[in-house]
Protein backbone atom coordinates (compact mmCIF):
# COMPACT_ATOMS: atom_id res chain seq x y z
CA UNK A 1 0.00 0.00 0.00
CA UNK A 2 2.81 2.41 0.93
CA UNK A 3 4.72 1.42 -2.19
CA UNK A 4 1.70 2.02 -4.41
CA UNK A 5 0.83 5.40 -2.93
CA UNK A 6 4.46 6.51 -3.19
CA UNK A 7 4.50 5.45 -6.85
CA UNK A 8 1.27 7.35 -7.55
CA UNK A 9 2.65 10.45 -5.79
CA UNK A 10 5.88 10.31 -7.80
CA UNK A 11 3.94 9.86 -11.06
CA UNK A 12 1.72 12.83 -10.20
CA UNK A 13 4.76 15.00 -9.54
CA UNK A 14 6.36 13.93 -12.83
CA UNK A 15 3.09 14.53 -14.67
CA UNK A 16 2.71 18.02 -13.18
CA UNK A 17 6.29 18.80 -14.11
CA UNK A 18 5.73 17.68 -17.74
CA UNK A 19 2.47 19.65 -17.91
CA UNK A 20 4.34 22.72 -16.67
CA UNK A 21 6.79 22.27 -19.51
CA UNK A 22 4.06 21.78 -22.10
CA UNK A 23 2.05 24.76 -20.85
CA UNK A 24 4.64 27.09 -22.40
CA UNK A 25 4.25 25.57 -25.88
CA UNK A 26 1.92 27.65 -28.07
CA UNK A 27 -0.23 25.04 -29.81
CA UNK A 28 -1.99 26.01 -32.99
CA UNK A 29 0.61 28.61 -33.99
CA UNK A 30 2.93 28.24 -36.91
CA UNK A 31 6.21 27.26 -35.33
CA UNK A 32 7.74 25.33 -38.24
CA UNK A 33 11.39 26.11 -38.87
CA UNK A 34 12.54 23.44 -41.34
CA UNK A 35 9.02 22.15 -41.96
CA UNK A 36 8.24 24.91 -44.45
CA UNK A 37 11.28 24.04 -46.51
CA UNK A 38 10.20 20.40 -46.73
CA UNK A 39 6.63 21.20 -47.65
CA UNK A 40 7.58 23.72 -50.33
CA UNK A 41 10.36 21.76 -52.01
CA UNK A 42 9.28 18.13 -51.59
CA UNK A 43 7.74 17.80 -55.04
CA UNK A 44 10.50 19.17 -57.23
CA UNK A 45 13.32 17.79 -55.11
CA UNK A 46 12.09 14.23 -54.57
CA UNK A 47 9.05 13.69 -56.79
CA UNK A 48 7.03 12.25 -53.91
CA UNK A 49 3.55 13.47 -53.02
CA UNK A 50 3.77 11.98 -49.54
CA UNK A 51 6.05 14.37 -47.65
CA UNK A 52 6.58 11.96 -44.76
CA UNK A 53 8.10 9.21 -46.88
CA UNK A 54 10.15 11.78 -48.77
CA UNK A 55 11.64 13.00 -45.47
CA UNK A 56 12.09 9.49 -44.09
CA UNK A 57 13.76 8.01 -47.18
CA UNK A 58 15.22 10.96 -49.00
CA UNK A 59 16.08 13.90 -46.75
CA UNK A 60 16.92 11.78 -43.73
CA UNK A 61 17.75 8.41 -45.22
CA UNK A 62 20.33 7.64 -42.57
CA UNK A 63 17.63 7.30 -39.91
CA UNK A 64 15.76 4.75 -42.00
CA UNK A 65 18.95 2.80 -42.61
CA UNK A 66 19.48 2.82 -38.85
CA UNK A 67 15.93 1.59 -38.22
CA UNK A 68 16.39 -1.24 -40.69
CA UNK A 69 19.60 -2.13 -38.88
CA UNK A 70 17.78 -2.08 -35.52
CA UNK A 71 15.16 -4.49 -36.87
CA UNK A 72 17.84 -6.73 -38.28
CA UNK A 73 19.65 -6.78 -34.93
CA UNK A 74 16.34 -7.54 -33.15
CA UNK A 75 15.66 -10.46 -35.45
CA UNK A 76 19.21 -11.77 -35.08
CA UNK A 77 19.05 -11.28 -31.32
CA UNK A 78 15.83 -13.26 -31.00
CA UNK A 79 17.31 -15.99 -33.13
CA UNK A 80 20.47 -16.03 -30.99
CA UNK A 81 18.55 -16.07 -27.69
CA UNK A 82 16.24 -18.88 -28.76
CA UNK A 83 18.84 -20.85 -30.62
CA UNK A 84 18.55 -24.58 -30.19
CA UNK A 85 19.73 -27.46 -32.27
CA UNK A 86 16.33 -29.08 -32.68
CA UNK A 87 13.24 -26.97 -32.61
CA UNK A 88 9.71 -27.90 -33.48
CA UNK A 89 6.22 -26.51 -33.31
CA UNK A 90 4.61 -27.73 -30.10
CA UNK A 91 1.01 -26.79 -30.96
CA UNK A 92 -1.29 -29.77 -30.92
CA UNK A 93 -4.74 -28.58 -31.95
CA UNK A 94 -5.28 -27.48 -35.49
CA UNK A 95 -7.56 -24.47 -35.90
CA UNK A 96 -11.19 -25.20 -36.67
CA UNK A 97 -12.27 -25.76 -40.27
CA UNK A 98 -13.72 -22.27 -40.45
CA UNK A 99 -10.42 -20.75 -39.35
CA UNK A 100 -8.21 -22.82 -41.65
CA UNK A 101 -10.42 -22.23 -44.68
CA UNK A 102 -10.67 -18.53 -43.89
CA UNK A 103 -6.91 -18.27 -43.51
CA UNK A 104 -6.33 -20.08 -46.77
CA UNK A 105 -8.62 -17.62 -48.53
CA UNK A 106 -7.37 -14.53 -46.73
CA UNK A 107 -3.58 -14.85 -46.74
CA UNK A 108 -3.07 -14.00 -50.45
CA UNK A 109 -5.17 -10.87 -49.99
CA UNK A 110 -3.26 -9.84 -46.88
CA UNK A 111 0.05 -10.22 -48.72
CA UNK A 112 -1.36 -8.37 -51.75
CA UNK A 113 -2.46 -5.50 -49.55
CA UNK A 114 0.90 -5.37 -47.80
CA UNK A 115 2.62 -5.16 -51.20
CA UNK A 116 0.19 -2.41 -52.21
CA UNK A 117 1.16 -0.41 -49.12
CA UNK A 118 4.89 -0.53 -49.71
CA UNK A 119 4.74 -0.07 -53.49
CA UNK A 120 2.63 3.08 -53.09
CA UNK A 121 4.75 4.53 -50.27
CA UNK A 122 5.41 7.79 -52.14
CA UNK A 123 1.71 8.38 -52.89
CA UNK A 124 -0.39 7.12 -49.97
CA UNK A 125 0.16 6.90 -46.21
CA UNK A 126 2.26 3.95 -45.21
CA UNK A 127 5.49 2.78 -46.71
CA UNK A 128 7.91 -0.03 -46.18
CA UNK A 129 7.45 -0.66 -42.48
CA UNK A 130 3.63 -0.92 -42.35
CA UNK A 131 3.61 -2.92 -45.58
CA UNK A 132 6.19 -5.34 -44.27
CA UNK A 133 4.34 -5.69 -40.97
CA UNK A 134 1.13 -6.47 -42.90
CA UNK A 135 2.91 -9.21 -44.85
CA UNK A 136 4.27 -10.65 -41.60
CA UNK A 137 0.67 -10.64 -40.29
CA UNK A 138 -0.22 -12.98 -43.15
CA UNK A 139 2.47 -15.40 -42.08
CA UNK A 140 1.42 -15.07 -38.43
CA UNK A 141 -2.09 -16.05 -39.54
CA UNK A 142 -0.69 -19.16 -41.21
CA UNK A 143 1.28 -20.02 -38.09
CA UNK A 144 -1.80 -19.68 -35.90
CA UNK A 145 -4.19 -21.63 -38.09
CA UNK A 146 -1.99 -24.59 -39.03
CA UNK A 147 0.01 -26.65 -36.57
CA UNK A 148 2.57 -27.80 -39.12
CA UNK A 149 3.15 -24.61 -41.09
CA UNK A 150 6.70 -23.31 -41.31
CA UNK A 151 8.18 -20.56 -43.43
CA UNK A 152 10.79 -21.67 -45.96
CA UNK A 153 13.82 -20.71 -43.88
CA UNK A 154 16.65 -20.66 -46.36
CA UNK A 155 14.76 -18.57 -48.87
CA UNK A 156 13.50 -16.13 -46.26
CA UNK A 157 16.84 -15.51 -44.61
CA UNK A 158 18.60 -15.03 -47.95
CA UNK A 159 15.89 -12.64 -49.18
CA UNK A 160 16.22 -10.64 -45.98
CA UNK A 161 19.98 -10.26 -46.38
CA UNK A 162 19.77 -9.46 -50.08
CA UNK A 163 17.10 -6.79 -49.51
CA UNK A 164 19.19 -5.17 -46.78
CA UNK A 165 22.31 -5.19 -48.91
CA UNK A 166 20.43 -3.75 -51.89
CA UNK A 167 19.41 -0.76 -49.78
CA UNK A 168 23.06 -0.04 -49.01
CA UNK A 169 23.90 -0.68 -52.66
CA UNK A 170 21.35 1.91 -53.83
CA UNK A 171 22.98 4.36 -51.42
CA UNK A 172 26.46 3.47 -52.69
CA UNK A 173 25.42 4.03 -56.32
CA UNK A 174 24.28 7.47 -55.16
CA UNK A 175 27.70 7.97 -53.58
CA UNK A 176 29.33 7.13 -56.90
CA UNK A 177 27.06 9.35 -59.01
CA UNK A 178 26.16 12.28 -56.82
CA UNK A 179 28.97 12.51 -54.34
CA UNK A 180 27.21 11.54 -51.08
CA UNK A 181 25.64 8.44 -49.58
CA UNK A 182 21.91 7.91 -50.37
CA UNK A 183 21.96 10.54 -53.15
CA UNK A 184 18.73 10.19 -55.14
CA UNK A 185 20.32 9.35 -58.51
CA UNK A 186 17.09 8.22 -60.18
CA UNK A 187 15.41 11.57 -59.63
CA UNK A 188 18.26 14.04 -59.75
CA UNK A 189 20.50 12.51 -62.40
CA UNK A 190 18.20 10.46 -64.61
CA UNK A 191 15.18 12.74 -64.08
CA UNK A 192 12.95 9.67 -64.42
CA UNK A 193 9.26 10.43 -64.04
CA UNK A 194 9.60 14.21 -63.69
CA UNK A 195 6.36 14.82 -65.61
CA UNK A 196 4.61 12.04 -63.75
CA UNK A 197 4.35 13.40 -60.18
CA UNK A 198 1.42 11.93 -58.29
CA UNK A 199 1.35 8.71 -60.30
CA UNK A 200 2.98 5.35 -59.65
CA UNK A 201 6.14 5.79 -61.74
CA UNK A 202 7.56 8.80 -59.97
CA UNK A 203 9.22 9.54 -56.68
CA UNK A 204 12.84 8.85 -57.61
CA UNK A 205 14.28 5.97 -55.59
CA UNK A 206 11.62 6.08 -52.84
CA UNK A 207 9.50 3.24 -54.31
CA UNK A 208 12.58 1.09 -54.90
CA UNK A 209 13.88 1.57 -51.38
CA UNK A 210 10.43 0.99 -49.91
CA UNK A 211 9.99 -2.24 -51.86
CA UNK A 212 13.34 -3.41 -50.44
CA UNK A 213 12.40 -2.31 -46.90
CA UNK A 214 8.97 -3.94 -47.19
CA UNK A 215 10.45 -7.27 -48.24
CA UNK A 216 13.08 -7.03 -45.53
CA UNK A 217 10.66 -6.13 -42.72
CA UNK A 218 8.14 -8.77 -43.84
CA UNK A 219 10.67 -11.59 -43.86
CA UNK A 220 12.30 -10.36 -40.65
CA UNK A 221 9.11 -10.22 -38.57
CA UNK A 222 8.05 -13.62 -39.97
CA UNK A 223 11.40 -14.98 -38.85
CA UNK A 224 10.88 -13.54 -35.34
CA UNK A 225 7.44 -15.16 -35.17
CA UNK A 226 8.91 -18.45 -36.34
CA UNK A 227 11.58 -18.32 -33.64
CA UNK A 228 9.11 -17.50 -30.90
CA UNK A 229 6.43 -20.12 -31.58
CA UNK A 230 8.87 -23.03 -31.67
CA UNK A 231 10.03 -25.05 -28.72
CA UNK A 232 12.94 -27.26 -28.01
CA UNK A 233 12.49 -30.95 -28.58
CA UNK A 234 14.00 -33.26 -26.01
CA UNK A 235 15.07 -36.58 -27.41
CA UNK B 1 -28.92 17.86 -50.38
CA UNK B 2 -29.70 15.34 -53.10
CA UNK B 3 -30.83 11.72 -53.10
CA UNK B 4 -27.32 10.26 -52.79
CA UNK B 5 -26.34 12.29 -49.73
CA UNK B 6 -29.71 11.56 -48.13
CA UNK B 7 -29.27 7.80 -48.69
CA UNK B 8 -25.75 7.96 -47.34
CA UNK B 9 -26.78 9.86 -44.25
CA UNK B 10 -29.63 7.41 -43.60
CA UNK B 11 -27.25 4.44 -43.94
CA UNK B 12 -24.72 5.99 -41.55
CA UNK B 13 -27.50 6.65 -39.07
CA UNK B 14 -28.71 3.04 -39.28
CA UNK B 15 -25.12 1.86 -38.86
CA UNK B 16 -24.50 3.94 -35.75
CA UNK B 17 -27.81 2.72 -34.34
CA UNK B 18 -26.63 -0.87 -34.72
CA UNK B 19 -23.31 0.07 -33.14
CA UNK B 20 -25.25 1.37 -30.17
CA UNK B 21 -27.30 -1.83 -30.00
CA UNK B 22 -24.13 -3.92 -30.07
CA UNK B 23 -22.60 -1.96 -27.19
CA UNK B 24 -25.88 -2.29 -25.30
CA UNK B 25 -25.89 -6.04 -25.87
CA UNK B 26 -22.38 -6.24 -24.46
CA UNK B 27 -23.68 -4.81 -21.18
CA UNK B 28 -27.07 -6.49 -21.05
CA UNK B 29 -26.30 -10.09 -21.96
CA UNK B 30 -25.62 -12.65 -19.21
CA UNK B 31 -22.66 -14.73 -20.46
CA UNK B 32 -19.78 -14.69 -22.94
CA UNK B 33 -21.60 -16.55 -25.69
CA UNK B 34 -24.66 -14.32 -25.69
CA UNK B 35 -22.46 -11.26 -25.58
CA UNK B 36 -20.44 -12.42 -28.55
CA UNK B 37 -23.62 -13.22 -30.41
CA UNK B 38 -25.10 -9.74 -30.00
CA UNK B 39 -21.94 -7.71 -30.29
CA UNK B 40 -20.38 -9.36 -33.35
CA UNK B 41 -23.53 -9.57 -35.41
CA UNK B 42 -24.77 -6.06 -34.91
CA UNK B 43 -21.27 -4.54 -35.03
CA UNK B 44 -20.66 -6.16 -38.41
CA UNK B 45 -23.96 -4.90 -39.74
CA UNK B 46 -23.37 -1.46 -38.26
CA UNK B 47 -19.94 -1.22 -39.86
CA UNK B 48 -21.35 -2.23 -43.24
CA UNK B 49 -24.01 0.46 -42.94
CA UNK B 50 -21.53 3.15 -41.95
CA UNK B 51 -19.00 2.25 -44.66
CA UNK B 52 -21.41 1.98 -47.56
CA UNK B 53 -23.18 5.07 -46.25
CA UNK B 54 -19.95 7.08 -46.29
CA UNK B 55 -19.20 5.90 -49.85
CA UNK B 56 -22.64 6.85 -51.14
CA UNK B 57 -22.64 10.08 -49.15
CA UNK B 58 -19.36 11.10 -50.78
CA UNK B 59 -20.81 10.45 -54.25
CA UNK B 60 -23.43 13.10 -53.67
CA UNK B 61 -21.00 15.81 -52.53
CA UNK B 62 -18.96 18.02 -54.85
CA UNK B 63 -15.56 16.77 -53.61
CA UNK B 64 -16.40 13.06 -53.72
CA UNK B 65 -15.95 10.63 -56.57
CA UNK B 66 -16.29 6.91 -57.26
CA UNK B 67 -12.94 6.13 -55.61
CA UNK B 68 -14.55 6.65 -52.20
CA UNK B 69 -17.26 4.10 -52.89
CA UNK B 70 -14.75 1.60 -54.30
CA UNK B 71 -12.55 1.86 -51.24
CA UNK B 72 -15.40 1.59 -48.76
CA UNK B 73 -16.87 -1.41 -50.60
CA UNK B 74 -13.46 -3.13 -50.49
CA UNK B 75 -13.16 -2.52 -46.76
CA UNK B 76 -16.76 -3.61 -46.21
CA UNK B 77 -16.25 -6.92 -48.04
CA UNK B 78 -13.03 -7.54 -46.11
CA UNK B 79 -14.80 -6.89 -42.82
CA UNK B 80 -17.81 -8.98 -43.83
CA UNK B 81 -15.56 -11.96 -44.51
CA UNK B 82 -13.22 -11.65 -41.54
CA UNK B 83 -15.49 -10.61 -38.67
CA UNK B 84 -17.49 -13.87 -38.48
CA UNK B 85 -14.29 -15.93 -38.58
CA UNK B 86 -12.80 -14.02 -35.67
CA UNK B 87 -16.07 -14.31 -33.72
CA UNK B 88 -16.18 -18.05 -34.38
CA UNK B 89 -12.57 -18.49 -33.25
CA UNK B 90 -13.10 -16.43 -30.10
CA UNK B 91 -16.21 -18.35 -29.07
CA UNK B 92 -14.60 -21.70 -29.80
CA UNK B 93 -11.55 -20.74 -27.75
CA UNK B 94 -13.82 -19.60 -24.92
CA UNK B 95 -15.67 -22.94 -24.94
CA UNK B 96 -12.46 -24.96 -25.09
CA UNK B 97 -10.97 -23.08 -22.15
CA UNK B 98 -13.99 -24.10 -20.09
CA UNK B 99 -16.01 -20.92 -19.72
CA UNK B 100 -19.43 -22.03 -18.45
CA UNK B 101 -22.70 -21.39 -20.21
CA UNK B 102 -25.37 -19.19 -18.72
CA UNK B 103 -27.30 -21.02 -15.97
CA UNK B 104 -30.48 -20.59 -18.00
CA UNK B 105 -29.07 -22.61 -20.89
CA UNK B 106 -31.11 -25.70 -21.70
CA UNK B 107 -29.11 -27.86 -24.04
CA UNK B 108 -25.39 -28.31 -24.76
CA UNK B 109 -25.08 -30.67 -27.70
CA UNK B 110 -21.41 -29.90 -28.26
CA UNK B 111 -20.47 -31.20 -24.81
CA UNK B 112 -22.50 -34.38 -25.43
CA UNK B 113 -20.69 -34.79 -28.73
CA UNK B 114 -17.28 -34.29 -27.13
CA UNK B 115 -18.10 -36.72 -24.30
CA UNK B 116 -19.33 -39.42 -26.66
CA UNK B 117 -16.13 -39.03 -28.69
CA UNK B 118 -14.08 -39.32 -25.51
CA UNK B 119 -15.98 -42.42 -24.44
CA UNK B 120 -15.36 -43.99 -27.84
CA UNK B 121 -11.64 -43.35 -27.55
CA UNK B 122 -11.53 -44.88 -24.04
CA UNK B 123 -13.48 -47.89 -25.29
CA UNK B 124 -10.94 -48.39 -28.02
CA UNK B 125 -8.08 -48.18 -25.53
CA UNK B 126 -9.62 -50.80 -23.22
CA UNK B 127 -9.67 -53.52 -25.86
CA UNK B 128 -6.03 -54.64 -25.99
CA UNK B 129 -6.00 -56.55 -29.28
CA UNK B 130 -7.15 -53.59 -31.31
CA UNK B 131 -5.57 -50.76 -29.31
CA UNK B 132 -2.81 -49.40 -31.49
CA UNK B 133 -0.36 -46.79 -30.40
CA UNK B 134 -1.60 -44.92 -27.31
By C-alpha distance, the chain B residue nearest A99 is B85
Q: How far apart are CA A165 and CA A159, in angstroms?
A: 10
Q: Out of A99, A106, A109, whose CB is closest to B89?
A: A99
pLDDT, tens only, A156-212: 888 988 998 998 888 888 888 876 777 777 777 777 777 777 777 877 788 888 999
pLDDT at A106 over 70: yes
Q: What are the chain B neighbours of A96 within 8 Å (beta carbons)?
A: 88-89, 92
pLDDT at A10 over 70: yes
Q: What is the residue-averaged pLDDT of chain A?
A: 86
Q: What are the chain A neighbours of B82 within 8 Å (beta carbons)?
A: 102, 106
**Containing H/E element for A100?**
helix A97-119
Contact between chains at B78 and A109 (C-beta distance less than 8 A)? yes
Q: How far apart are CA A62 and CA A48, in angstroms?
A: 18
Measured between alpha carbons, how far apart are the two ends of chain A, in Å? 48
pLDDT, tens only, A113-172: 999 999 998 888 888 899 999 999 999 999 988 888 888 888 888 898 899 899 888 888
Segment A224-232 shows an average pLDDT of: 85
According to the model, what pLDDT value does residue B3 have? 87
What is the DSSP track for A181-227? TT--HHHHTS-TTGGGTTSSS-STTHHHHHHHHHHHHHHHHHHHHHH
A106 versus A27: the higher-pLDDT residue is: A106
At A184, give phi and psi (nearest 5°).
-80, 85
**Containing H/E element for A231?**
strand A230-232
According to the model, what pLDDT value does residue A184 have? 77
Q: How far apart are CA B46 and CA B19, in angstroms?
A: 5
pLDDT at A4 over 90: yes
Q: What are the chain B neighbours of A111 within 8 Å (beta carbons)?
A: none
According to the model, what pLDDT value does residue B131 have? 46
Instruction: Delimit the domains of chain A by residue range.
Output: 61-67+92-234
Contact between chains at A99 and B82 (C-beta distance less than 8 A)? no
pLDDT at A3 over 90: yes
- How many helical (H) and strand (E) elements, i.e. helices and strands, does chain B have? 4, 0
Among left, alpha and beta (phi > 0; psi -120 to 50; other), residue A149 is: beta
Query: Is B134 in the A-facing interface, judged by CB distances under 8 Å?
Result: no
Shortest distance between the Cα of B86 and any Cα of chain A, in A, equals 8
Shortest distance between the Cα of B3 and any Cα of chain A, in A, equals 31
* ipTM > 0.90, yes or no: no
Q: What are the chain B neighbours of A102 within 8 Å (beta carbons)?
A: 81-82, 85
Interface of B with A in 93-132 (CB under 8 A): 96
| Per-residue pLDDT tens digits of chain B, which is 134 residues long | 688 889 999 999 999 999 999 999 889 888 888 888 888 889 999 999 999 999 998 888 888 788 888 999 999 999 998 999 999 999 988 888 888 888 877 878 888 888 888 888 888 877 655 444 44
Q: How far apart are CA B25 and CA B45, in angstroms?
A: 14
**Full-model pTM:** 0.83
Amino acid sequence: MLKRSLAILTLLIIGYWLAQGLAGVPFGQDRMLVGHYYLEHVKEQTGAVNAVTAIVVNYRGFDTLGEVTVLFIASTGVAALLWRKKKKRSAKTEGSVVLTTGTRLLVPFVILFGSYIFIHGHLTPGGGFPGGATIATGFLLLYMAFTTYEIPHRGFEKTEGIAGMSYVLVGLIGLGIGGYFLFDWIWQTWQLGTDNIGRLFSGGFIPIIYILIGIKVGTELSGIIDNMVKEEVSE
Amino acid sequence: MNALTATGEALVLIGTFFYFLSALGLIRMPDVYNRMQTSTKSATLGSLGVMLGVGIWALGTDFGNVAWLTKTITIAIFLLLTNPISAHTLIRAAYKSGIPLWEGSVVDRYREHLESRKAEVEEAEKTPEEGGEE
